[in-house]
Amino acid sequence: MIYRIAQYHKDEDFTDDRWDVTHLGEQTLAKVFNISNPDHLGDTYPVTGEQAARLAALTDLVFDLDTYEYYLEPTAD
């Protein structure tokens, strides 16, 4: 699986940008998104403020939650 964080402007349906966070690994992403079994990381998950803070600490990503919505979007590789 490839795991990306997608950024959508709050007033639009199209993504502005995507960042690959696969390097964090399924275990870490499952912990960030409070998913008990990493094998269940096949859905799209909205990123909350708490999750954005945790992801920012693990990556160099900057989240602007006032302007954008963010989602973890897994895709098959």
CATH code of 13's domain = 3.10.50.20
Give pLDDT tens digits for 29-47.
999 999 887 776 778 899 9
DSSP code per residue over the chain? -EEEEEEEETT-SSEEEEEE-GGG-HHHHHHHTT-S-GGGTTS-EEPPHHHHHHHHHHSS----TTTEEEEEEEE--
Q: How many domains, the chain? A: 1
Site of tokens 């990381």: 41
Mean pLDDT of the chain: 91
Which comes out higher in pLDDT, residue 61 or 11? 61
Confidence tier at 13 by pLDDT (50, 70, 90) = confident
Give the domain extent around 42: 2-75
